Amino acid sequence: MFNKLILCFSCILLIIYPAFSLASMGDGFITSINVYPADNSSAFIVVAWAIGAYGQCPGLKRNISNCSLDPINFTYYTFYFDGNSILYLPQLSNTDSLISFNGSELVYLYGENPPKIGHNANYYLLDINKKCVLPLGNRSKVFKPIQGVPGEIRDGNVVFSNGSRMYAIPLYKLLNYTILGVEDLRAVFLKNGILIYPASYMGSKDWGYPYVVLPDIENLSRVKIARIDELPPVSIFFYDGKELKAFPLYRITYRNSELMPDIVVDRTVEFSSCRGWNSWVVGAFLILLIVLVAVLKKRA
């Protein structure tokens, strides 16, 4: 009899444990994506992901439609678009340090979990082709991302225009990949096309695992409730006027009871240390010295 009671109790625990295991400090997440063009055809993409907790709740119900979702802490993830594909930069990801770019220059501010580049500096020069990084010292300047152009829906198309160039993309093509729609999409103009990305969105755990509640940023009373395994990955897009290419970045998932991004980009870039200018000077000096000694020996 006692063994049967133990078995029944164990079964009950197995049923209710997932609900208890998802109890955590966060009620949801807030995220934004920033784009920093590196040159005319490539760009760095930084995803800022914050665990959010409910703050002000005017009514009795604590949910994302009725409460403010305030960020508790941020984690940053960095990607690179080379004009044809997306690469993930793990050394500049999964960190709480703010990361920004100006061309090939990188700046970040130290946090509790700084990027794993291996130098005591917060200002760097990146060589994405040689896959190396050169520390330039400590500075306080933080570069600002390019403000993307919002799209307009016209005659079944999403139109992005910066005043001199315009791109029209069939609405249905973008809807195949987006989670909430196209209202919050932004576009950064590059040499051969536009890089399109969702500027910001949020979600909550109001329904518990395995669901996520996704509200409309402009109208929080409108929500979409979905299973995380049925959501498409969050993607950015490149459109050259003819072909729309989608590049998945991550999926929304539960990790350690929190809604977090699960990176799906396979290609990565790992940075080593570049040789500084002083190393080249020393090397050149040594070569010249060897040549000079050889010449003097011949004359002697």
* pLDDT 10s digits, 46-79: 999 999 999 888 767 888 888 889 999 899 999 9
pLDDT score recorded for residue 101? 96
Q: Distance between CA atoms of 30 and 254, rounded to whole angstroms?
A: 14
Cβ pair 258, 228 in contact under 8 A: no
- Give the pLDDT confidence of 71-91 residue by residue, as tens digits: 998 999 999 999 999 999 999
Let me know if residue 1 belongs to a domain: no
pLDDT at residue 23, rounded to an integer:
43
- Is 209 a domain residue? yes
- Over residues 186-198, mean pLDDT: 96
CB 52 within 8 A of CB 74: no
Residue 261 located in a structural domain: yes
Q: Is the pLDDT of residue 281 over 70?
A: no
Q: What is the DSSP string of 132-194?
A: EEEEEE-----PPPB-PEEPEEETTEEEEE-SS-EEEEEHHHHHTT-SS-STTEEEEEETTEE
Q: What pLDDT shows up at residue 132?
A: 94
Choose among 253, 242, 252, 130: nearest CA to 179: 252
- Between CA 52 and CA 214 the distance in angstroms is 13
For 157, other C-beta atoms within 10 Å of its C-beta total 17
| Residue 204 belongs to some domain of the structure | yes
Average pLDDT over residues 231-236: 94
Percentage of the residues of the chain whose pLDDT score is greater than 70? 81
- Report if pTM > 0.75: yes
Phi, psi dihedral angles at 260 (to 5 degrees)? -140, 160
- Residue 13 in domain: no
Terminal Cα-to-Cα distance of the chain (whole angstroms)? 106
Nearest Cα to Cα of residue 195 among 31, 32, 75, 33: 33
Residue range 144-184, pLDDT digits in tens: 999 999 999 999 999 999 999 999 999 999 988 888 778 88
Longest dimension (CA), the chain: 106
Contact by Cβ (8 Å): 66, 53? no
Q: When comparing pLDDT for 20 and 127, which is higher?
A: 127
| Portion of the chain with pLDDT greater than 90, in percent | 62
Q: Residues 83-92, buried b or exposed e (16+ Cβ, 10 A)? A: beebbbbbbb
What is the spatial distance between Cα 39 and Cα 59, in angstroms, rounded to a whole number? Answer: 49
Residue 4, in any domain of the structure: no
Domain presence at residue 279: yes
> What pLDDT shows up at residue 299?
61
The structural domain count of the chain equals: 1
With 90 as the cut, is the pLDDT of residue 284 above it? no
Amino acid at 257: S
- At residue 11, the pLDDT reads 43
For residue 185, list its beta bridge partners.
198
pLDDT at 21: 38
Side chain identity, residue 103: G
Mean pLDDT across the stretch 20-24? 42
Range of the domain at 66: 21-299
| Bridge partners for 134 per DSSP | 125
Rounded CA separation 103/84 (Å): 18
pLDDT at 57: 84
Q: Mean pLDDT over residues 257-269, rounded? A: 95
The Cα angle at residue 239 between residues 87 and 161, in degrees rounded to 5? 120
Residue 24: what pLDDT?
A: 55
Average pLDDT, the chain: 84
Q: Is the pLDDT of residue 44 over 50?
A: yes
pLDDT score recorded for residue 297? 61
Per-residue pLDDT band for 135 (boundaries 50, 70, 90) equals very high
Residue 17, phi then psi, degrees to nearest 5: -60, -45
Residue 252 lies in a domain: yes
Q: Given pLDDT bands bounded at 50, 70 and 90, which one contains residue 250?
A: very high
Of 172, 150, 170, 153, whose CA–CA distance to 161 is shortest? 150
* Torsion angles phi and psi, residue 36, rounded to 5: -125, 100
